[in-house]
Each structure stands twice: as C-alpha cells, then as structure tokens.
Structure 1
Amino acid sequence: MKKLFCIFTIHFMVFQTLVSCGIYRPVDAKKYPPQPELRVKKNQEEGRGFRLMSGFDGGKGGKFEFANANPLWRASLDVIDFMPLLSVDYGGGIIITDWYGEENTNDEIKITIQFLSNEVRSDALSIKVFKKKCTNLSNCKVIQSQSNIDQELRVAILKRAAKYKASDFEKKNKGREIRVKEFRN
C-alpha cells in the first residue's frame, strides 16, 4: 500500500509540474488546421517547433531558402553582385563586401549593409562605404566615404526591393485567385 501511494504521489507531482510549467496546453481545434502540412507551415511561420534530424541531411550544405522571402535582402545581394562578399549573415542582418577596385588603380571600396528592419523602408538599411587609398603597397589609408555612393546604393536597393515585393504580392494573389476559382467550380 505504501508503494502504491508513493507511485501515485510521484505521478501526481510530475503531472502538476508539466501542467504548471506550461508544457501541456490544451488547444482549441478550431484554431489549427486538421492537415499536418498546414499545421507544420503555420508553426514555421510562427517560429515554433524544431526538427530532430535537421543536421543529418547527407552532408549537404545549408539551406538558405528563408532569405528568398525578404525582398530587402534579395535586392541588396542583386545590387552588389559585382563585388566579392566577405561576410554574409542573414541571422545577424549584415552583408560585408571585400575590398573592390578597378585594375591598375590604388583606390578600393568596401561596403557594409546592415538591416535594421525587414520592411521596405528607407530607414531599414544602414549602409556604410569605406575607401582605401594606397600610395604604395605598404602605405594605405582607410576612411569612411563622404560621397553619395551610400545614398545611390540605398535608392537602388529600395527600388529593386519594391519590385520584388510587388512581384511576390502578385504571385500570392494569383495563386489565391486560382484556388478561389477551383473552389467555385
């Protein structure tokens, strides 16, 4: 009898711990779609869940599909595609190019683009342009550029991002129209 009481007490304590910590949450079935694919998509959009086997996909490289959804990110990479990239971190929201210059010149530039927001706005980007002037191989001076290159880059990126956003919106609505027509038929 004492053993049965101990087992019951332990089970009750574990249940109370799970309920009080919020691990067990009853869910309203009306808020979640019944199809597993739609539930997975909804959870991914909300940033929930994880995959146990995500690191074991046959030694393939990383998957960077998430960057395609951000028009600012895509536009920035398209605008500076002629420059070699030194560091690209989507999670940190920064792109740093390597030094770039025309052949047979001693002037090079380096661009840093920091994303402050995912929205297509002029204040969503912080762009810094650095110039390096070398008189010989050992005597180089690096300064932050005071020219209008950063403004020109900002305008080019925002124009391209606006086009991407409009294109994505049209694709999304076109798919919705097709589904509505199928539903009506």
Structure 2
Amino acid sequence: MSHKLFKIILATVLTSLLLLNCKGGDARKNPPDPRERVKKNLEEGKGFRLDTAMKNMSGGGVGSFEFASSNELWRASLDIIDFMPLTSANYSGGIIITDWYSENPDEAIKVTIRFLSNEVRSDALDIKIFYKKCENLVNCTISDYKGNLKSELTKEILKKAAIYKKQNKDKNFKPYAGNSLNDD
C-alpha cells in the first residue's frame, strides 16, 4: 500500500470517527445563556475548563499561586524564621528550608517546615531541625536537634497564624444588609 493511499484512508477514518461523535444539538433543549450552556456541558462531561486543565498540567492544587498570600501558616512561618537565610521556599510544594544558621562558627542549625494542611492546627506542620557541630572546617557531624526548639517554633507559628486568621476574618466580615422582617 502506498504512503499516499494510507494517509487518505487514515484521514477518512478519523473524519468518520469525529463525525460519528458529533451530536446535533437541539436548540430547544439547550439554555440560551452561554454560561448556562457551558455549565451544562461541563456537568455532562462534554468539555473542559482551561483553569482546571492548567491546574492539572502544573501539578498544583486549586489556588496553588494563592498559597503564599492567603495561607496564614505560610505567612506566620516566614515571619517567625525571618532572621534565618532561606535555601528554598516553595509555596506550591508547601515547604520552607532554611540555610545553616549560626551565631558561632562551631555550631549551626537548619530548619525545614513542611505544610501538611492549610488549616491552622498543630498537626498541620511538620518541622525538622538539624544540628551541625564542627570541630574544624572539615570535620562536622549533623544530627537531629535535641531540645524544645521544635515545640517553641510550632507554638509561635500557630500563635501568629491564629492572629493572621482573625485579622483576615475581621477584614472580610460584611454584615448581612438584606431586608429585615422587623423593619416596619
């Protein structure tokens, strides 16, 4: 079979399949408002939304670009550890990693904060602290930090996040301005 004949047969088969899948739309059964038609088509699985497609392509969740500005835990964490240099702060991945921080050249700590939830609660954070002890510039040992710094960091982040959440709630509060039954 020649290459040209194969292309013609393939094009004919694909066109036939496309035409078979086209269903004549009855204008009487479809809403006249385009937004309602789109909604109906999406509910019936006849289309896709670009924002959903972009979300799936990027691998992020809904509002992955809103995470940094709207998540109280994220903002509180950055505020609490603002004195430490950051190695990575990936808000769509939900992790903050600091660089080694030291006030003395022989010891340093490094903090990683992983966000397990967007809710302000104690189990929403997974904080790990690493401790580096050096005898000289080349001979260093790294271990998990022993002490209460992890619990102190968690407590301070949650306190600040609760404040941010309350401020956000107060800022967005709008009393209902509807008609009251008692307005006579």
TM over 0.5: yes
CA RMSD of aligned residues (A): 3.4
Offset at residue 9 of structure 1 (A): 5.8
Structure 1: runs of 5 or more not aligned: 1-5, 20-24, 33-42, 52-63
Q: Say whether 1:13 aligns with 2:17.
A: no
Take 1:136 and 1:50, find their aligned partners in 2: how far apart are those partners? Answer: 50
What does residue 157 of structure 1 align with?
Answer: 157
**TM-aligned CA distance change 1:10 to 1:49, over 3 Å:** closer
Structure 2: runs of 5 or more not aligned: 1-12, 40-48, 56-64, 180-184
Deviations 1:86-126 (A, max 9, x none): 01111211110000001x43110000001111100000000
Structure number with the higher helix fraction is 1
What does residue 69 of structure 1 align with?
Answer: 70
What does residue 168 of structure 1 align with?
Answer: 168
Q: Give the ranges of 4+ consecutive aligned residues of structure 1 lying more than 2 Å apart after TM superposition.
A: 8-12, 25-29, 47-51
Over the matched positions of the two proteins, sequence identity in percent amounts to: 49
Take 2:67 and 2:53, find their aligned partners in 1: how far apart are those partners? Answer: 16
Taking structure 2 as the reference length, the TM-score comes to 0.65
Take 1:28 and 1:129, find their aligned partners in 2: how far apart are those partners? Answer: 51
What does residue 148 of structure 2 align with?
Answer: 148
- Number of residue pairs matched? 140
What does residue 86 of structure 1 align with?
Answer: 87
Taking structure 1 as the reference length, the TM-score comes to 0.64
For the residue of structure 1 that corresponds to 2:22, the secondary structure is helix
Name the aligned partner's letter for residue 102 of structure 2: G
Take 1:10 and 1:114, find their aligned partners in 2: how far apart are those partners? Answer: 49
